[in-house]
């Protein structure tokens, strides 16, 4: 069976590669698979994942909202949940063939192409980027609490945490919002975990916050940029999303992160994909 796969791979190189997805091969993280990631790679290794199916549905909604306009309608339709009923907890992978068909005859500007690459690479990566949408009034799920509580137990607020947990019946969302605003992301062993606060602080809409967190923080962390680059990369990612969405706003974010500084050249493209 192993030899058959090798033979199939080289047949692909000889026959399929000159034509299949040639025009848009630069958009695919699976270019080494000769445009056939389903047959030549592990199709289960690609995850943007919701804490629940409902979270995954909201994340799909936000990712689609990042791509308004008729020229990207076909690509927008590729952003779906996994499973036969399209209601799974993770995003379905995007193949290079589907990507090529979505942009057949379509020219993308630099911003659109960059954001498409970032989204496809995130969805198709082997890292697990988990997202949970939490109500503004309430407490975090046990899963999210296990991720975020240790940070509060080591911070300045640590002496008061037992009383806060007891009074609220868990780690309250208001504490997350007071520290981080409408969203927050932390790295995990397998990728990242993002919290998006429903009806929270989203000056340019929830989709922008979701992209800021999952792409700007989660994806950049997974590419190895590390925590020291998070302030700049996330803001540049946010401004990229704003431009693609046609929102006339540039975020320099002096209140963002631990740096609390202006971002140099905030309109530059992020350095990761």
Does pLDDT of 151 surpass 70? yes
At residue 172, the 3 state secondary structure works out as: strand
pTM for the model stands at 0.81
- The pLDDT score that the predictor gives to residue 258 is 67
242-260 pLDDT, tens digit each: 999 999 999 987 767 666 7
42-101 pLDDT, tens digit each: 344 457 999 999 999 999 999 999 999 999 999 999 999 999 999 999 999 999 999 999
Alpha helices (H) in the chain, listed in sequence order = 2-15, 37-40, 53-65, 73-76, 96-102, 110-123, 142-153, 161-168, 173-180, 206-211, 220-222, 230-245
Q: What share of the chain is helix, strand, coil (3-state, %, to 5)?
A: 50, 10, 40
Mean of pLDDT values over 91-114: 96
* Predicted confidence band of residue 226 (pLDDT cuts 50, 70, 90): confident
Residue carrying structure tokens 């290079």? 96
Higher pLDDT, 40 or 99: 99
Window from 39-43, 91-95, 188-192, 215-219 with minimum mean pLDDT: 39-43
Query: Which residues are paired to 185 by β-bridges?
Result: 194
- The pLDDT score that the predictor gives to residue 4 is 44
In the chain, what is the greatest distance between 2 CA atoms, to the nearest angstrom?
67
* Predicted confidence band of residue 13 (pLDDT cuts 50, 70, 90): very low
- The pLDDT score that the predictor gives to residue 261 is 80
Does pLDDT of 14 surpass 60? no
Distance CA 62, CA 118 (A): 15
Mean of pLDDT values over 14-36: 37
Does pLDDT of 153 surpass 70? yes
String of DSSP letters for 56-97: HHHHHHHHHHTS-SGGGHHHHTT--BSTTTT--SBBPP--HH
Task: Please answer whether residues 244 and 112 qualify as being in contact, where contact means their C-beta atoms are separated by less than 8 angstroms.
Answer: yes
Window from 9-23, 170-184, 210-224 with minimum mean pLDDT: 9-23
Does pLDDT of 270 surpass 90? yes
Q: Taking the alpha carbons of 154, 252, 222, 243 in that order, is the dihedral positive or negative? A: positive
Computed over every residue of the chain, the mean pLDDT equals 84
pLDDT above 90 covers what percent of the chain?
69
Angle between helices 110-123 and 230-245 (to 10 degrees): 120
- The pLDDT score that the predictor gives to residue 225 is 86
Higher pLDDT, 225 or 20: 225
CB within 8 A of 142, min separation 6: which ones?
none
């Amino acid at each position: 069976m192993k030899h058959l796969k090798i033979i199939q791979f080289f047949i692909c190189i000889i026959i399929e590669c000159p034509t299949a997805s040639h025009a848009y091969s630069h958009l695919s993280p699976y270019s080494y698979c000769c445009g056939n990631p389903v047959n030549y790679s592990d199709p289960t290794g690609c995850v943007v994942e919701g804490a629940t199916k409902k979270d995954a549905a909201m994340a799909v909604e936000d990712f689609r909202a990042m791509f308004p306009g008729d020229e990207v309608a076909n690509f927008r339709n590729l952003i779906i949940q996994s499973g036969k009923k399209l209601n799974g907890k993770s995003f379905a992978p995007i193949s290079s063939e589907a990507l090529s068909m979505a942009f057949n005859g379509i020219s993308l500007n630099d911003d659109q192409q960059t954001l498409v690459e970032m989204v496809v690479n995130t969805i198709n990566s082997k890292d697990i980027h988990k997202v949970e949408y939490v109500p503004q009034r309430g407490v975090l799920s046990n899963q999210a609490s296990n991720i975020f509580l240790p940070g509060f137990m080591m911070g300045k607020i640590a002496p008061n945490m037992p009383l806060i947990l007891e009074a609220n019946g868990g780690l309250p969302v208001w504490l997350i919002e007071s520290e981080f605003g409408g969203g927050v992301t932390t790295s995990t062993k397998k990728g990242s975990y993002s919290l998006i606060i429903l009806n929270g602080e989203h000056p340019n809409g929830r989709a922008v916050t979701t992209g800021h967190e999952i792409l700007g923080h989660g994806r950049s962390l997974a590419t190895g940029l590390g925590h020291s680059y998070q302030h700049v990369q996330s803001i540049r990612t946010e401004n990229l999303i704003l431009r693609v969405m046609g929102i006339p706003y540039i975020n320099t974010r002096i209140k963002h992160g631990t740096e609390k500084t202006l971002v140099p050249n905030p309109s530059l493209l992020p350095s990761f994909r």
